[in-house]
Amino acid sequence: MKLSADLRAFEARIGHEFREPDRLLRAVTHSSLSSATRPDNQRLEFLGDRVLGLVMAEALLAADGHASEGQLAPRFNALVRKETCAAVAREVALGEVLKLGRSEMMSGGRRKEALLGDALEAVIAAVYLDAGFEAARRLVLRLWGERIAQVEQDARDAKTALQEWAQARGLPPPTYEAVDRSGPDHAPIFTVEVRLGSGETERATAGTKRVAEQAAARALLARMEAKND
């Protein structure tokens, strides 16, 4: 089969020309458009998640020969989590080539975090099946780029750090509350407030509650640490 112009352009963006183009077509086909003759990307997503995990585990071990499992685990999680996959997907404009059903398209599927992350994992699997593990590894390392070198900063779990800070001072665990939700259903914006038992609060806004909670915790922890220096 021959790929459409937009998929050929996508091949160029990710740096891999498929020997079997149907693998790429399947990787970008969402279940909302699948049929008996047009399989979706869910099985590829399952495989791609495992390929991505192995590539990142190898990369982290190679980057730091002395890190313990306890140090490596949060770095690994930061690199393979859905938000990171979605961010990489946006950088290569994966959303533009997704094959979606009408309802998914109308609800903003091309911008949905989970859908983008899943599709990128499917693309990784498609490359793996098309050209082997080394090709998939090169793809992942190229697309993730500086994220791997900078992962130590990204891996810090602000909510855990803030909870440990509070407990060390005899305070109960921080509480989180979603105080506002705006934007359309397909692209909501959440504002979350974190509160310490001593009364201090901080707010942050993001496209998911999880990210907003982390941002609020990070801001409050930075303020409290600066206050106590």
Residue 6 binned pLDDT confidence (cut-offs 50, 70, 90): very high
Percentage of the chain lying above the pLDDT 70 cut: 97
Catalytic-role residue among 40, 45, 49, 202:
49
How much is the average pLDDT of 180-204? 90
Q: Mean pLDDT: which of 4-8, 37-41, 52-56, 99-103 is highest?
A: 52-56
Nearest Cα to Cα of residue 145 among 70, 97, 91, 64: 91
Read off the pTM. Answer: 0.74
Is 49 one of the annotated active-site residues of the chain? yes
pLDDT computed for residue 228 by the predictor:
66
Q: Which residue has the tokens 């091949």?
A: 11
Q: Which of 83, 104, 121, 202 is catalytic?
A: 121
Residue 155 confidence (pLDDT): 64
pLDDT at 153: 58
Q: What is the pLDDT of residues 57-107, one digit of tens each?
A: 999 999 988 888 888 888 898 899 888 899 999 999 999 999 999 888 888
Output the average pLDDT for the chain: 91
The pLDDT tens digits of the residues spanning 27-37 come to 999 999 888 88
Cα distance between residue 25 and residue 112, in whole Å: 19
Tell me which of 57 and 226 has the higher pLDDT. 57
pLDDT tens figures, 115-173: 999 999 999 999 999 999 999 999 999 999 999 988 875 566 788 889 989 999 999 99
